Chain A
Amino acid sequence: QQQVKQSPQSLIVQKGGISIINCAYENTAFDYFPWYQQFPGKGPALLIAIRPDVSEKKEGRFTISFNKSAKQFSLHIMDSQPGDSATYFCAASMSGSGGSNYKLTFGKGTLLTVNP
């Protein structure tokens, strides 16, 4: 059972455009939602993360929008650049008590290509 569904699988955007990647989750106990960026041959690296007490978080050109009632969250990359070309993963985890041990459940990833 896939607990985090990510779409699209791949995305091609022109330089300067907006890239949007969407994720939906099923487990309402999730309370931490990070996005990871991965370049070829490298390990994933944390890009930005959000908790459900806010509906939006922005860091530079990257914004997470969060809709708790719909159990969805999305990554927006404004003014997309060729250097943003990478694979992006959304993830979710449960914090706090219960022995979650900070395990992350990942979406399947989106390959973003930004054309010059």
Chain B
Amino acid sequence: DAGITQSPRHKVTETGTPVTLRCHQTENHRYMYWYRQDPGHGLRLIHYSYGVKDTDKGEVSDGYSVSRSKTEDFLLTLESATSSQTSVYFCAISYPGGGETQYFGPGTRLLVL
């Protein structure tokens, strides 16, 4: 799994609560990404990071924020969870010289009630 862990792996929360998902890599790769996967929508990019403290928005960033204070950790925060954010969240990493290949973590299944 390319040295990527995600935590928690499963979470149930209530509407309006903040939620933070963590992606941890042991590969020291520069680029990290957060995706959500929903039936009929495939994988959609939420936010990505191209270095420590360097982040940018993806196509579905509304309602999400990210932080990267260390190379190995990329945090995704749902400021106030909504039922529409029920999804499976995947973290991915890539590195220059490795081409555009992205390596994915095992995913976090989030249910917002």
CB nearest to A109 among chain B residues: B42
Indicate whether A102 sits within 8 Å of B106 (C-beta atoms), given known contacts A44-B43, A108-B42: no
The answer to whether A103 and B48 have CB atoms under 8 Å apart is: yes
Q: Is B25 an interface residue (CB 8 A)?
A: no
Give the one of B1, B43, B45, B104 with max A CB within 10 A.
Answer: B43
The answer to whether B43 and A101 have CB atoms under 8 Å apart is: no
Indicate whether A95 sits within 8 Å of B99 (C-beta atoms), given known contacts A42-B106, A44-B43, A44-B104: yes
Q: Is A116 an interface residue (CB 8 A)?
A: no
CB nearest to B58 among chain A residues: A103
Indicate whether A45 sits within 8 Å of B104 (C-beta atoms), given known contacts A32-B99, A102-B31, A103-B48: yes
- Cα separation A44 to B31 with both chains bound (whole Å): 17
CB nearest to A6 among chain B residues: B42
Q: How many B residues are at the interface, by size bracket?
A: 20 to 34
CB nearest to A99 among chain B residues: B50
B42 CB to nearest A CB, Å = 4
User: Which residues from chain A contact B56 at a C-beta distance below 8 Å?
Assistant: 101
- Cα separation A95 to B97 with both chains bound (whole Å): 11
- Cα separation A105 to B1 with both chains bound (whole Å): 21
User: Which residues from chain B contact A44 at a C-beta distance below 8 Å?
Assistant: 43, 90, 104
Q: List 28 A-B contacts (CB under 8 A).
A: A32-B100, A34-B101, A42-B106, A43-B1, A43-B90, A43-B106, A43-B107, A44-B43, A46-B101, A46-B103, A49-B100, A49-B101, A95-B100, A101-B48, A101-B50, A102-B31, A102-B94, A102-B99, A103-B33, A103-B45, A104-B102, A106-B44, A107-B42, A108-B40, A108-B41, A108-B42, A109-B42, A109-B43
Residue positions of B touching A, CB distance < 8 A: 1, 31, 33, 40-45, 48, 50, 56, 58, 90, 92, 94, 99-107
